[in-house]
Structure 1
């Protein structure tokens, strides 16, 4: 019964914001509310407010339909540290507007969230979606990188050259398409150099993701903890060609074939603009 209610809520969301000729965008978030660090430590996390809501607001304002999904269909968690005006150029009113829209969507509500599971998305068919968007926050490092369901979805989009946009830590989700993603990431977490995959659908793609330099600068946010590995290193070892800004925390967007990747929180709005351009 609950799954039917969630599906109805998702369809209502699409109908209330969309139009008959609008594009349909699937937004995939993590189920996780924490990231496992080294030495048994954990970091409370989730999605970053601006990384999700700046593109979402732009899509809805342009009349596009959106559907939200997580691997298990659980309501995602907002990383509270991201509810800060600095991620909106210091604009307090912009922060309030995006927070108000998030509240209206009820995305993080365990009872009212319109989020579907990736299994449900697969069951109803990928062809109904024109694009997929994956925001960051540390949470994708916990589950999206190893999600077989997400790997199938992204592989389908890749095969059909359908727009795939990701930002900050979100691009780590591209690893889910590896033949053995769990083994690859386990090697990275063990501190060694992972064996380069013999096959990867994104090998040779130019991408960006939060840089090792930015991760080092932001390390105090881990409160004494240490990440098992950085996403830049992971994507490079998997076979991607990495590109970044020399100036940390400034917007950087890389487009290569169907992929749109953004480097950091400052890149989210520009990723949204490129996504809108593709949907036209």
Structure 2
């Protein structure tokens, strides 16, 4: 049985006070696939406890059937209200560590030392590391044992600056994720058409560009895990 750690945010507001949180589909699709396989799932967050959901991710145009079903499932919602503190799972072995997105992650993922240590260990042990959308920000400051940034020279993707324009969040976000990824020396690979599915695999590092990549990255991760 595979063990997955799904990492989510605890932040519910931008600095301006505008509501934000986890982008629901970026958690539900990988969660659903793992549940189908009867794999072991741990939902963790920087502080543990309550995980807020971005209200934008609950709007009819983006709330797909799988996400809607989980949103209405009291057992799943209770699990989100009792996420594990990452400190508790720092030394636990996982087959895959996945950073779910949502703009909120830009505040509590990049500088979190537990995320950095968990990801470093996972990556250096040649186990799967995955991130989607703004969750990719959690990879920015991960350094390997040799001191190099983990994503330096790697092909990855993430929510780009033009997509921030479409989302009307350029004035809300604390930094430019696209610029930050490039600044770390990574090879940013973007979808030809913004806001369409794009998943990039570079050995044991798997990244998805935006919420519309949720279904594809879940499928890719299952395929990767079943090879092991």
User: Structure 1's 117 and 95: CA in aligned 2 closer, same or farther, altered over 3 A?
Assistant: closer
Contact 1:33–1:44 under 8 Å retained in 2:
yes
Offset, 1:119: 1.0
Offset, 1:62: 1.5
Rg larger for: 1
Partner of 2:56: 81
Aligned residues: 223
User: Structure 1's 226 and 32: CA in aligned 2 closer, same or farther, altered over 3 A?
Assistant: closer
Offset, 1:263: 0.4
Alignment of 1:1-280 (within 5 A): 22-36=1-15, 41-88=16-63, 93-101=65-73, 103-105=74-76, 106-109=78-81, 113=82, 115-122=83-90, 125-127=91-93, 129-178=94-143, 199-219=148-168, 225-280=171-226
Unaligned 5+ segments in structure 2 are none
Offset, 1:178: 4.2
Q: Which runs of 4+ in 1 moved over 3 A?
A: none
Query: In structure 2, what is the Cα distance between the partners aligned to 1:209 and 1:277?
Result: 21
Query: In structure 2, what is the Cα distance between the partners aligned to 1:48 and 1:144?
Result: 14
Q: What secondary structure sits across from 1:52 in the alignment?
A: helix
Superposed CA RMSD in Å reads 1.8
CA deviation vs aligned residue, 1:146-173 (integer Å, no higher than 9, x gap): 0011100000011101101111111110
Query: In structure 2, what is the Cα distance between the partners aligned to 1:199 and 1:149?
Result: 18
Query: In structure 1, what is the Cα distance between the partners aligned to 2:134 and 2:198?
Result: 13
Query: In structure 2, what is the Cα distance between the partners aligned to 1:228 and 1:58?
Result: 32
Q: What secondary structure sits across from 1:250 in the alignment?
A: coil
Q: Larger helix proportion, structure 1 or 2?
A: 1
Query: In structure 1, what is the Cα distance between the partners aligned to 2:92 and 2:152?
Result: 23
Query: In structure 2, what is the Cα distance between the partners aligned to 1:117 and 1:96?
Result: 26
